[in-house]
Amino acid sequence: FTIPFLFICLTVSGFSQDITTSRKTSFYTYIFKITESEARQIYRKNLAVVTDSFFHTVSDSFPTNKSFAKPLPVGHYLFAFAHENELVFEFKSVSRLQVKTLNNKNDLALHLHDSSGNLVSDARVLVKNKTIRFDKNTQSYRLKNTHHRGLLAIEYQGFTSYYALTTQYKIRKFEKVVRRILFGRPLSYVTKIITDPIYSIKHHQPIGWLWKLKRIFTGDFWYRAFDSYQIGQRKENRFERKHRGFIIFNKPRYLPNDTLKFKAVLLKRKGKAVKREVSVFIENTYYSQEKKVKMIQLKPYQSGFYEHSFFLHDSLKLKLASEYNIVLKNKKGRIYQQESFKYEDYELKSNTYTFRSDKKAYLKGEKVVLYAKGTDENDLNVLDARLSITILPTRAINFTDEMVFVKDTTWHFEQKLDALGETKITLPDSIFANAELEYCVMAEFLNSNNEKQSKNLSFTCHYQSQEFRLNLKNDSLTAGFFISGKSQVTDAELIGYADKDTEQAVFRKKVKLPYQEKLNPYIKTYKLETDKDQVDLALKEQNPELQVFTNRTADSVFVQINNPRKLPFWYTIFYKNERLAHGFGKDNFNFSRKSTITQKYFVSLQYVWNNQMREEE
């Protein structure tokens, strides 16, 4: 662990020299090894405790204008150099261990491992001189229901390393009970008499009952309390808070004489469906004085579900270039839900078509994938669009044989565009000649109105090329060397780094490609090197693929953890504040329990990826 720089200024004597050209720093930075007792003082306080007595054992040195690249033995160190008349030093600790916090919002739990990711279960862990024992069930050092903060000491193989616990954990149950009693009803009325004045003085403004008392002596209070409009607004707001739902339209904007269609879902706050008739109104969004038009008294076609359509005719007297709301009200005029639409005399735009490839260059054997899409003026997919594709060779780059047959038309294909999203077209590998060629793809889009648009793109197919690949496949790392898409046997070196700067390698090994080994989530970057080339794989750019699924039925709750990469993970399942299950695993996990639909559960999950602890809830 590293503590930030602290600058210590010392007064020293010097001789007269040209300040503009003289060196500002010492030639060398010296590394001093300090004792565990001295390191503990620094961790407990800060670098201000460092005195001359700390600089007693010189371990190494290096030029100040360069970085120190050699690995240091396990220990605590001070890096020191002179800058003008100041002594600048930095504190670093080098340990065999890495510590990761498992934050399930309830316990103090620690995961200890070495640089290769091997679990350490025989260390002595103390916080505030209290020993934290190793829990075999969760494979972690754990104190239940605690929120210890302070200095963490870990003794392992004759060396003590220190770590500052700063994570906020869930308060103890006893403290929660005390707070619930003091600040819950009815005692809260008594405690707030004392606490609100204290907070008001602290924040220099009235808080709580003092703020309410102040409002009584202002005109605004009496106005809001007795004004009929304000009373109505409060009732309206209370009604809206008791209900939720949404309204969706078939289009975001409409022309005169268009047909407006909408569907609505209306629920009470706790999820019970509204079963009553609603009044459908059209109201101007910005001009409340404009006449509100009642369209219909609408019954639900299913509890909580409503739908309706109507013609935007002239008799509605809607103003162009305006925004209107569809408002659903009860018989007292309270609003269940409202949503806006635009009423404009806009010009219909022609359909827009896009056509693209996933890459600009392909290797022989790779899938060539094209994507096409057509949208109308409302950004909705064109439902009657057809696509015609013609592929032609345009330029020869290289031939593999003395005689290669190349068709003048490589491929022709027609199909309808998909109703949702982009249409994906995968070209068959058999259509491409055994040569490096550049191809032109001509696409024609047509619809039922005989509207026609053309789009072109080009890509290159390389018949023979060399490529090193480093990939993840489930819980394995795969490495290979390919010529024209075919795997080849060759020698390489595989390197793993656990630091973000890829300076200190965790391992180096000679491998024969193709090669496969178990994925190590404690590695940040894998590197594959040969005399010819190298390729990197950074885990932060890959998907950990660990997923948590939950499901409920009328009488049960289910939790499923899918873990195809076999990552180490820790789980805790709570019902309210009660821990139902907790543990450690690398395989898929399933949990089920009899439960009513109203009972609330909480899942806390921690797992290692990219040498970092990640959380899911």
Residues 602, 517 within the same domain: no
Residues 358, 442 within the same domain: yes
211 located within any domain: yes
User: What is the C-alpha separation between 570 and 443, in angstroms, rounded?
Assistant: 52
Q: pLDDT tens for residues 338-373?
A: 999 999 887 666 788 999 998 888 877 778 999 999
Tell me the CB-side half-sphere exposure of residue 45, using CA atoms within 13 A: 8
What are the Cα distances from residue 157, in Å, to 75, 123, 191, 366, 510?
Answer: 12, 8, 52, 52, 30
The residue out of 69, 94, 119 marking a domain boundary is: 94
Kind of pairing between the strands at 411-416 and 386-399? antiparallel
Residues 71, 138 within the same domain: no
The residue out of 317, 343, 369 marking a domain boundary is: 343
Residues 472, 458 within the same domain: no
Q: pLDDT tens for residues 152-202?
A: 899 999 999 988 876 554 445 555 566 666 556 667 667 778 888 888 887
Of 241, 230, 247, nearest to 282 (Cα)?
Answer: 247
Residues 264, 220 within the same domain: no
Q: pLDDT tens for residues 111-158?
A: 999 888 899 999 999 888 888 899 999 899 988 877 667 788 999 999
Residue-number span of the structural domain to which 214 is assigned: 173-226
User: What is the C-alpha separation between 318 and 224, in angstroms, rounded?
Assistant: 35
Residues 356, 452 within the same domain: yes
Residues 82, 105 within the same domain: no
Q: How many domains does the chain have?
A: 7
158 located within any domain: yes
Lowest-confidence segment of 164-168, 212-216, 491-495 by average pLDDT: 164-168
pLDDT for 70 equals 85
Residues 255, 309 within the same domain: yes
Residues 214, 152 within the same domain: no
The residue out of 117, 148, 165 marking a domain boundary is: 165
Burial of residue 168 (number of CB atoms within 10 Å: 0-12, 13-18, 19+)? exposed
| CATH code of the domain covering residue 516 | 2.60.40
232 located within any domain: no
pTM of the model: 0.53
Residues 527, 575 within the same domain: no
Q: CA-based angle 534:538:542, to the nearest 5?
A: 125
320 located within any domain: yes
Spatial contact of 586 and 473, defined as CB atoms under 8 Å apart: no
Residues 244, 337 within the same domain: yes
User: What is the C-alpha separation between 33 and 55, in angstroms, rounded?
Assistant: 8
